[in-house]
Amino acid sequence: MKNLCHIALASLLLAATANADSGAEALSVQTKPLKGALYFMQGKGGNVVASVGADGILIIDDDYTEYAPAYHTALQAVAGQPGLPRFVINTHWHFDHTGGNAYWGERDAVILAQENVYQRMSTRQEMKAFDRVVEPSPAAALPVVTYADSLTLRFNGDRLEVRHFPTGHTDGDSVVFFTAENVVHMGDHFFKDRFPFVDIGSGGNVLGYTANVAAILDLVNDATIIVPGHGGLADKADLQRYHRMLVSTTAQVQAALEQGLSLEQISLDPEWADWGQGFINEQAWISFIAGSL
């Protein structure tokens, strides 16, 4: 049963990697103004937010490795030469969010992340869900500044509150609140209208993930612009719907397991049928829930 889930997830990962590699000759980044000094940027991997202003450039996450030059070009288009970030904040350790670290670290950017991100990036990691081994990152890619629970930065007229939400997507997830502009980057605590990947092997847990999303909902309002780790821009109503999915599907899987059903016999309410069309399909999501209970 576990092997079937591993094979399915490995196939999804290989397909995503192949798609990224197939576009290597013409990689591009889409840039959209958010509010004030903030820009929303999308390449292939995790969503990026850039703050560009008098204090320079700061970016949240940096996509896959091969996309770093495309982000450099996009930042130059917004900020002019040299288009180099002073700071990079990683929401967690996965390579679709930290792949550009070495590129920016070699160009003197200061990389910041929760302490567990440093620990995982600096050591060999086994992603059993994908049957993949991730070797230690080069020194230039590693966070230089780490924190346990929170960090505050004042940059380009805003106050950034970076908060660790443990036992969620991984054990090292941070959510970044731009308090003046009322913009929040949630990293992979939010896959808009899709089932999320919860990395149980990296300390993640669906129950902790759901509790974290509930806590974040208490910190935003109807005017907040919410940036998911994957997917388009969102608002509080989108996040409320996402939280309802987490609660509902977890209850369904728990009830089915208590009735003695196997993972292969479990199916979710048709209300969530479209949510399995992204990176994580329904059976994979069911396996994450079961592995967390």
Can you give the pLDDT at residue 198?
A: 97
Q: Would you state the pLDDT for residue 279?
A: 86
Q: Is 260 left (phi over 0), alpha (psi -120 to 50) or beta?
A: left
Integer CA distances (angstroms), 58 to 75, 104, 198, in order? 10, 11, 27
Question: Among candidates 133, 99, 139, which has minimal Cα distance to 118?
Answer: 139
Pairing of strands 174-178, 183-185: antiparallel
- Sequence-distant (6+) residues with CB within 8 A of 134 are 95, 124, 125, 126, 127
- Report, in this order, helix, strand and coil percent for the chain, each rounded to 5: 40, 20, 35
pLDDT digits (tens, 9 = 90+) for 156-197: 999 999 999 999 999 999 999 999 999 999 999 999 999 999
Instruction: Give kind and range of the element (H or E) at residue 225.
Output: strand 225-227
pTM over 0.85: yes
Q: How many CB atoms lie within 10 A of CB 41?
A: 24
Spatial neighbors of 85 by CB under 8 A, at least 6 apart, are: 50, 56, 57, 58, 59, 75, 104, 109
Average confidence (pLDDT) over 78-95: 97
Question: Per-residue pLDDT for 211 more than 80?
Answer: yes
The answer to whether residue 213 scores a pLDDT higher than 70 is yes
Structure confidence at residue 23 (pLDDT):
41
Q: Is the dihedral of CA 194, 199, 204, 205 positive or negative?
A: positive
When the pLDDT of each residue in the chain is averaged and rounded to a whole number, the result is 92
- pLDDT over 70 (residue 44): yes
**CB-based contacts of 238, cutoff 8 Å, min separation 6:** 192, 193, 226
What is the distance between the alpha carbons of residues 221 and 284, in angstroms, rounded to a whole number? 32
For residues 52-72, average pLDDT: 98
Asked if the bond preceding 82 is cis, omega within 30° of 0, the reply is: yes
| Separation CA 61–CA 27 (nearest Å) | 17
Is 157 within 8 Å of 180 (Cβ atoms)?
yes
The angle, 0 to 180 degrees and rounded to 10, between the axes of the packed helices 206-217 and 236-258 is: 150
Is the pLDDT at 9 greater than 80? The verdict is no
Q: What angle do CA 197, 198, 200 make, to 5 degrees?
A: 140
Of 2-6, 197-201, 242-246, which range is least confident?
2-6
- Taking the C-alpha atoms of residue 52 and residue 184, their distance in angstroms, rounded to an integer, is 16
Among the residue ranges 125-129, 241-245, 263-267, 288-292, the one predicted with the least confidence is 125-129
Return the pLDDT at 25: 61
Q: At the fourth CATH level, which superfamily is domain 2-243?
A: Ribonuclease Z/Hydroxyacylglutathione hydrolase-like (3.60.15.10)
What's the whole-number mean pLDDT along residues 267-280? 93
Q: Is the pLDDT of residue 17 over 50?
A: no
